Amino acid sequence: MLNKKARVYFSCFMLILGTLIGFLLSKWSEIGSLGWREPDVITLTVRMPENGSLPSRMIYGKPDIAKAPRRDVMVLSPWLAPIVWAGTFNRDLLMEEFQHKKYRIGLTVTAIGKYVKLLKKFLESTERYFMKGGMVTYYVFTDRPDKVKALSLEVNRPLKIITVPKYPTWGHVVLGRMEILKNQSEVLFQQEVDYVVSLDVDMVLFSHIGVEILGELVSVIHPGYYHSPRKDLPYERRPASQAFIPEDEGDFYYQANFFVGTVQRIYQLATACYEGIVKDKANDIQAVVYEESHFNKYLVYNKPTKLLSPEYIWMNNLWRLKDIRIKRIVHGEKKF
């Protein structure tokens, strides 16, 4: 039995511990990273004697072949696609090539109906954190261009408003996104950009998202299922749907609210999903997770060339796992 004094000490200790844990948990939703920092790169300026110009050089530690970037998570898929986690890349190093090649990036977002209200917060965060120093054009797909204009959005990159049909239901919107992407890849993106990035409007960026996300075909591993066995992944398992994936197939479950690719690869992906959706409709079947089921089906047979870890679409209602060092984007908190 504890004596009275010991009990008082114990109660005080528990109170302090409880307050501390409560404080940390409350802060977790507000900050991008907990203690973890992106590696430093020192850029030095040196004088070149031939022409007297002042090119800058980047100085960084030599990669050590014996040192794995992360030991706790898979950083390379079995088909040799890198999986991007905090600690696996040096963004400044990637930026060198990016600036040299002058890639053009189209960030697409759909804001139909009441979702227009989410656009301001979304764009404030992309202005702050999306592709700093990159050539970005925003493409907003909306049925209410006047409402979007009325938001008086203050953005420092070009913003194009593309009018799309007023889809009657949520389901029609998410399925319709693939049709919009397919059509706009043909008429617009092909001329105007090198990479397309597609994001949901109910996302808020919390930390820098840069060139590390670019690749031929890039998808994000769903934060809710990344430790789940295959049998628990919410793939479409009914053979009657075009999105059908057999029980013994599938790699990861990807979330369709964030994907990236070259215009050609996005066009192919969107066309395949659109055709699957049209066929399903003709057969009077609706895939279990709408366009996301078709998206996952496509990616089983057309493997992504790069994967982004769940850091890129974290959700605050998920318990923080020890392999998540940083929340780069928080998704799904809608306040209309």
Query: Per the annotation, where are the binding residues?
Result: 115, 200-202, 222, 292
Taking CB under 6 A as the rule, does residue 289 contact ligand UD2? yes
Length of the chain: 336
**Nearest approach, Cβ of residue 292 and ligand UD2 (Å):** 4
Q: Which residues, including other chains, have CB under 8 Å from residue 12's CB and lie 6 or more apart?
A: none
d(CA 89, CA 311): 14
**Nearest approach, Cβ of residue 332 and Mn ion (Å):** 5
Taking CB under 6 A as the rule, does residue 202 contact ligand UD2? yes
Q: Is residue 311 annotated as part of the catalytic site, yes or no?
A: no
Taking CB under 6 A as the rule, does residue 145 contact ligand UD2? no
Concatenated DSSP letters of 142-153: ES-HHHHHHT--
**Using N-to-C axis directions, what is the helix angle for 290-301 and 263-282, rounded to 10°?**
120
CB neighbours of residue 314 within 10 Å: 23
Of 108 and 257, CB closest to Mn ion: 257
Of 200 and 236, CB closest to Mn ion: 200
> Which does residue 263 touch among ligand UD2, Mn ion, none (CB within 5 to 8 A, set by kind)?
none
Taking CB under 6 A as the rule, does residue 332 contact ligand UD2? yes
Q: From the candidates 212, 236, 292, 311, give the one annotated as an active-site residue.
A: 292
Taking CB under 6 A as the rule, does residue 290 contact ligand UD2? yes
Taking CB under 6 A as the rule, does residue 200 contact ligand UD2? yes
> Which does residue 143 touch among Mn ion, ligand UD2, none (CB within 5 to 8 A, set by kind)?
none
- Number of chain residues interacting with ligand UD2 (CB under 6 A): 19
d(CA 251, CA 136): 31
Residue type, 309: S
d(CA 308, CA 77): 11
**Using N-to-C axis directions, what is the helix angle for 170-184 and 263-282, rounded to 10°?**
140
Q: Which of 181, 292, 313, 314 binds ligand UD2 (CB under 6 A)?
A: 292
**Nearest approach, Cβ of residue 220 and ligand UD2 (Å):** 11
CB neighbours of residue 249 within 10 Å: 12
H helices present in 136-208, as ranges: 145-150, 170-184, 190-192
Give, in degrees to the nearest 5, the angle at Cα 283 between 278 and 289: 65
> Which does residue 170 touch among Mn ion, ligand UD2, none (CB within 5 to 8 A, set by kind)?
ligand UD2
**Nearest approach, Cβ of residue 334 and Mn ion (Å):** 8
> Which does residue 256 touch among Mn ion, ligand UD2, none (CB within 5 to 8 A, set by kind)?
ligand UD2
Taking CB under 6 A as the rule, does residue 173 contact ligand UD2? yes
**Nearest approach, Cβ of residue 174 and ligand UD2 (Å):** 4
Torsion sign, CA atoms 233, 237, 243, 249 = positive
Of 118 and 211, CB closest to ligand UD2: 118
**Nearest approach, Cβ of residue 202 and Mn ion (Å):** 4
Taking CB under 6 A as the rule, does residue 174 contact ligand UD2? yes
Taking CB under 6 A as the rule, does residue 110 contact ligand UD2? yes
Concatenated DSSP letters of 53-102: ---EEEE-PPPPTTS-S-SSS--B-TTS-BEE-TTS--HHHHHHHHHHHT
* Residue keyed to tokens 């840069």: 210
- Could you tell me which residues are annotated as the binding site for Mn(2+)? 200, 202
Contacts with ligand UD2, residue ranges (CB under 6 A): 110-113, 115, 170, 173-174, 200-202, 255-257, 289-292, 332
Point out the residues that are catalytic: 292
